[in-house]
Amino acid sequence: MNRHPFTHSVRGSIENLLAHRAPEAREAAASTLGETLTRVADEREALEALSTALHDPSARVQDAVLQSLVRLSTR
């Protein structure tokens, strides 16, 4: 099965968002997930991860998550 080129980067961003120890890396991943998603499957995975990350202990990560959710909702 051929995978869309964004799928790999989306999964990497999701892993960083949910598992990276550094809040800066989680914040960057949250920001990345709100951009350049073209596949519905990637958007669905990103939305699930962003929804989970709303509970991140870092306020900066939460803010980046909310901004990405807004960007995704205005498409």
Domain with residues 5-73, CATH architecture: Alpha Horseshoe (1.25)
Please give the angle made by the CA atoms of 45, 57 and 38, to the nearest 5 degrees.
Answer: 20
Whole-number Å distance between alpha carbons of 37 and 75: 10
Both structure tokens of 7: 């799928």
Q: What is the pTM of this model?
A: 0.84
Read off the pLDDT of residues 20-43 as tens digits, 9 standing for 90 and up: 999 999 999 999 997 877 788 889
Indicate the angle between helix axes 40-53 and 5-19, nearest 10 degrees.
10
**Per-domain boundaries in the chain:** 5-73
| pLDDT for position 27 | 97
